[in-house]
Chain A
Amino acid sequence: MKKLLFFPIALLSLVFTSCSEEPANMECDIESVSIHFDNPELFFDVVDDTLKSVATSADLTYDTDSIGFKVKTKAVVGSYGLTIATTPGATVYFVEADGSVSPYRNGTPVDFSDEKIQVFRIVSEDGVWHRDYKICVVHDAVSNLGHRIYNFSFDGNYSLYDPNKTIDDKGNYFVWQEVEENLVNDIFGSESWKCGNPGFKLSKSSAKALEYPSVPCFGEGPDGTDCIKLETMDTGAFGKMVNMRIASGSLFTGYFDVANALKDARKATQFGVAFKHKPVKFSVWLKCEMGAKFQDKAGKAVEGVVDEPDAYVVVYRNQDENGNRVLLDGNDVLSSKYIVGMARLPHYYDYEEVDGRTVRHDKLSDHGIHGVTNEWQKFEMDVEYTEELDDDLLANNGYNIIIGFSSSWQGAYFQGAVGSKLWIDNIEIECEK
């Protein structure tokens, strides 16, 4: 009888314990790369910058297969060894200019002079997959100090993320890349404007380029040229699976870490780029149309609350007292103690004393005071400083600038109204030094 009872149990346990040998890794990522200089302080403002953790590096470009070490303007660059850490089991190869491939041993000097881009191929443990990474050392651009105004007109500076696909293909979206020399040198480097489009793609693979939260509007600006439209959208069934029911349209300077977008969306939205000037005035043309139903994170309608758009310029110190990097994210972009200057569309706030510092909390209301309407208007805001900028720090990339927009000001908390739209054009950032 006992045998009889144990028969099915034994059979089932056999089924569930018969796991076979572990399959070889299929991934072939560079997880981190460090570059060896004898005197790193001659090359970097922050010595930590010799190491780049690829998964979280804020300096990586849109396609994460490019890794750039940004060194001081006057640094003389030669050959340096790299230490490349990959997915366990993967092999690193150096790809010569003629396409031939040889195994790369960590520490072997590689010629990075004249901003040469060197290619490394990582082959997965199972030998089936590979990725080619471009690694280079680039010089920080020279910036001419003095009074200047930066203009962003969004005319024709957009392109499709995947140029091999058309505007009507699913899964393609727009990106904005500034090409004007001053903008590239002073704010954007090799990077472009960031927005939540790559995250939206994860939830809405069927969306075409013009069905994303951040899209260009052709000829619809106040001057009849192109502008940009941000729209808060429903993320559908997949968004619901991860409790992120809406995606607000966004546009900002910084870095969007798609890898961590589901895990912690606010932390994944990292704001700011180093800037050597002091912005004093922020002006922009805006119009908006707010969605009818404001919903909370659970997707429930909140009565008596209207959605509001947001637009701001923030200046903050990008190093703490100990010289460590500070990077604001969706949690503290407008409340961090490292913020020294800000201009923002007006909203209602609550104030709270925390450790002797007044912390400002956004306050939902049934009528916004931002003043943006469904007609184009020019908004001008002074950047208000809580402390004077340190000239040395400013010259050595010690401050970051954030230029940020959102079609739903609480979008980072997945609150807002589906259908809220914010049109943006002709941004001007006036700098005093």
Chain B
Amino acid sequence: MKSLKYILAAVLLLGAATVNAQEDSWTKYGPTNTQTNAGFIVRAGYTFGGTAPMPVPAEIRSINEFSPKGGFNIGLDCYKMLSKRWGISAGWHFFYEGFHTSADVKGYKMELVQEGNVMAGYFTGCDVTNTDAWGMNIPVLATFRISPRWNVSLGPYFTTYFKTSFDGEVYEGKNGQGYLRVDDPTGQKVIIDRTNPATYDFKDNMRRWNAGLELQFDWKAMKHMNVFAQLDWGLANTFEPDFKAVAFKMYPIYATVGLAYRY
């Protein structure tokens, strides 16, 4: 008898909730504080991606390996809805991101400067790169509610890096060729292969900041819980402007998927 009462109560409640969701879901999945229409979101997610030239130049013949390192992004956003559909948010995110890649290149123009000595020319072979970055992102986004449970946000972000690394080695590619032509394609050929690969470390040539666009999708799984995915597309070259070892500009492009808690 007792249990029947509980079951009945549960069914009633559920029914009420369903009715509520249909009639009132814009409110339910909206800002938790209906007075101010503002609040906080704490986000935590898994980050993956890489630093890549855009578009990929013809000198890069094939990507042999690409494996993002397990990165993460945690942060706090504060938002305010200005109307039923439109709002703004600003955030403060900490992240670690990185990747490992190996690519075959052909006639890749490079210039290395170390302690006042220059090694310049055209490299053909395989280039293995490892990169890591610890940093902080400040996004300022405009938010649009597509539906009660879906938000999309877009806006600029600014990054400062606490610590970055960009290193690797070069040796022969899949076709067995690995060499530098010093200065120009008719210059001295210097063979570089796995028996004695050349290593490099460009951490001192990396920009301490970046800026780009963030695109974010939120799906409100529960009243307080979001599932989100975001893409941070850096628009500034990852290297300092006078750096010529890498002939093309490279941009950090990282995605994050995770959970968020809405206050």
Interface residues of chain A, those whose CB is within 8 Å of chain B, are: 1, 4-5, 7-9, 11-12, 15-23, 25-29, 55, 124, 129-131, 198, 202-206, 236-238, 241-243, 258-264
Count B-side interface residues using an 8 Å CB cutoff: 50
Kindly provide the distance from the CB of B122 to the nearest chain A CB, expressed in whole angstroms.
7
Q: Which of B40-73 contact A (CB under 8 A)?
A: 49-50, 52, 54-63, 66
Q: What are the residues of chain B within 8 A of A259 when measuring CB–CB?
A: 179, 188-191
B242 within 8 A of partner (CB):
no
Q: With contacts A11-B231, A238-B114 known, what are 19 further pairs, Cβ within 8 A?
A: A4-B219, A7-B229, A12-B255, A16-B63, A19-B56, A19-B61, A23-B106, A23-B107, A26-B185, A29-B189, A124-B185, A129-B185, A202-B188, A204-B117, A236-B114, A262-B192, A262-B196, A263-B193, A263-B195
Enumerate chain A residues within 8 angstroms of B50, measured Cβ to Cβ.
12, 16
Chain B positions near chain A (C-beta within 8 angstroms): 49-50, 52, 54-63, 66, 106-107, 112, 114-119, 122, 179, 181-182, 184-186, 188-193, 195-200, 217, 219, 227, 229, 231, 253, 255, 257
Contact B255 A9 (CB under 8 A): yes
Q: Are B117 and A205 in contact (CB under 8 A)?
A: yes
Closest-by-CB residue of A relative to B172 is: A263
Query: Are B198's CB and A28's CB within 8 A?
Result: no
Residue of chain B at shortest CB distance from A131? B186
Q: Which residues of A contact B106 (CB under 8 A)?
A: 22-23
Closest residue of A by beta carbon distance from B112: A238
Cβ of A26 to closest chain B Cβ, rounded Å? 4
Q: Give complex CA distance A18, B52 in Å.
A: 12
- Evaluate contact between A242 and B229: CB separation under 8 angstroms: no
Q: Chain B's interface: helix, strand, loop or mixed, by majority?
A: strand
Q: Which of B52, B184, B229 contacts A15 (CB 8 A)?
A: B52
Closest residue of A by beta carbon distance from B116: A206
Which of A8, A16, A21, A238 has most B Cβ within 10 Å? A8
CA distance A238 to B116 in the complex (A): 11
Q: Quick one: given A4-B229, A12-B49, A236-B115, are A26 and B107 in contact (CB under 8 Å)?
A: yes
Q: How far is the CB of A12 from chain B (nearest CB, A)?
A: 6
Q: How far is the CB of A228 from chain B (nearest CB, A)?
A: 24
Residues in B with CB closer than 8 Å to A131 are: 186
Knowing A19-B61, A241-B200, A242-B198 are in contact, say whether A26-B122 is a contact too (CB < 8 A).
yes
Residues of B within 8 A of A203 (CB): 117, 119
Using A26-B185, A205-B118 as known contacts, say yes or no to A8 and B195 having CB atoms under 8 A apart: no
Q: How far is the CA of A23 from the CA of B57 in the complex (A)?
A: 10
B112 & A263 in contact (Cβ 8 Å cutoff): no
**A27 CA / B177 CA spacing, docked (Å):** 13
* Residue pair A4, B200 in contact (C-beta under 8 Å): no
Q: Which residues does chain B contribute within 8 Å of A11, judged by CB atoms?
A: 231, 255
Cα distance A198–B239 when bound, in Å? 31
Whether B56 and A16, one on each chain, are in contact in the complex, defined by CB atoms closer than 8 angstroms, is: yes
Q: Is the CB of A242 within 8 A of B60?
A: no
Closest chain B CB from A119 CB (angstroms)? 15
Contact partner of B114 (CB less than 8 A), chosen from A21, A25, A237, is A237
Distance between Cα atoms of A19 and B57 in the complex (Å): 7
Cα of A16 to Cα of B227 in the assembled complex, Å: 27
**A20: min CB distance to chain B, Å:** 5
Q: How far is the CB of B179 from chain A (nearest CB, A)?
A: 8
In the assembly, what is the distance between CA of A19 and CA of B60, in Å?
7
Q: Which of B49, B63, B107, B196 is the one whose CB lies under 8 Å from A264?
A: B196
Name B55's contact: one of A18, A205, A261, A264 (CB within 8 Å): A18
B231 partner residues in chain A, CB cutoff 8 A? 7-8, 11
What would 30 A/B residue contacts be, using CB atoms closer than 8 Å? A1-B219, A1-B227, A8-B49, A8-B229, A8-B255, A8-B257, A11-B231, A23-B58, A26-B107, A26-B185, A27-B181, A129-B186, A130-B186, A131-B186, A202-B119, A202-B182, A203-B117, A203-B119, A205-B118, A242-B196, A242-B199, A243-B196, A258-B188, A261-B190, A262-B190, A263-B191, A263-B193, A263-B195, A263-B196, A264-B195
* Contacting pair B56 A260 (CB below 8 A): no
Bound-state Cα–Cα, A220 to B182, Å: 35
Write the chain A residue with the least CB distance to B228: A4
- CA–CA, A11 to B61, complex, Å? 19
Rank and list the top 10 A-B pairs by shortest CB-CB distance, nearest first: A8-B255, A237-B114, A26-B185, A263-B191, A259-B189, A20-B58, A205-B118, A205-B117, A8-B231, A23-B58
Highest count of chain B CB atoms <10 Å: which of A4, A7, A241, A259: A241
Contact B257 A5, beta carbon cutoff 8 Å: yes
Contacts of A236 in B (CB 8 A): 114-115, 117
Contacts A5-B229, A12-B50: A238 and B196 contacting too (C-beta < 8 A)? Answer: no
Bound-complex Cα distance A264 to B195 (A)? 8
Residues of chain A contacted by B229 (CB below 8 angstroms)? 4-5, 7-8
B186 touches A28 (CB 8 A): yes
Q: Which residues of B have CB within 8 Å of A27?
A: 181, 185-186
A4 proximity list for chain B (CB < 8 A): 217, 219, 229
> Across the two chains, which residue of chain B brings its CB closest to A199?
B190
A311 to B117, CA, bound (A): 31
Residue of B66, B115, B181, B185 with most chain A CB atoms under a 10 A cut-off:
B185
In the bound complex, how far is the Cα of B203 from the Cα of A100, in angstroms? 52
Query: Is A258 in contact with B190, judged by CB distance below 8 angstroms?
Result: yes
In the assembled complex, which residues on chain A have CB atoms less than 8 Å from the CB atom of B253? 12, 15
Instruction: List the A side residues contacting B52 at CB < 8 Å.
Output: 15-16
Cα–Cα distance between A258 and B188 once the two chains are bound (Å): 8
Closest CB-CB distance, B117 to chain A, in whole Å? Answer: 5
Given the complex of chains A and B, what is the CA–CA distance between A130 and B62 in angstroms? 27
With A19-B56, A129-B185 known as contacts, the answer to whether A241 contacts B122 (CB < 8 A) is no
Cβ B62 vs Cβ A19 within 8 A: yes
Residues of A within 8 A of B117 (CB): 203-206, 236-238
Q: Give A15 to B60 CA distance when docked, in angstroms.
A: 12
Q: Which of B58, B117, B191 has the most CB of A within 10 A?
A: B117
Give CA–CA (A241, B190) in the complex, Å: 14
> B61 contacts A22, CB within 8 Å?
yes
On chain A, the residues within 8 Å of B182 by CB distance are 202
Q: Nearest chain-A residue to B169 (Cβ)?
A: A241
Contact residues in B for A129 (Cβ distance below 8 Å): 184-186
With both beta carbons as reference points, the residue of chain A lying nearest to B189 in the complex is identified as A259
Q: Chain A residue with minimal CB distance to B68?
A: A12
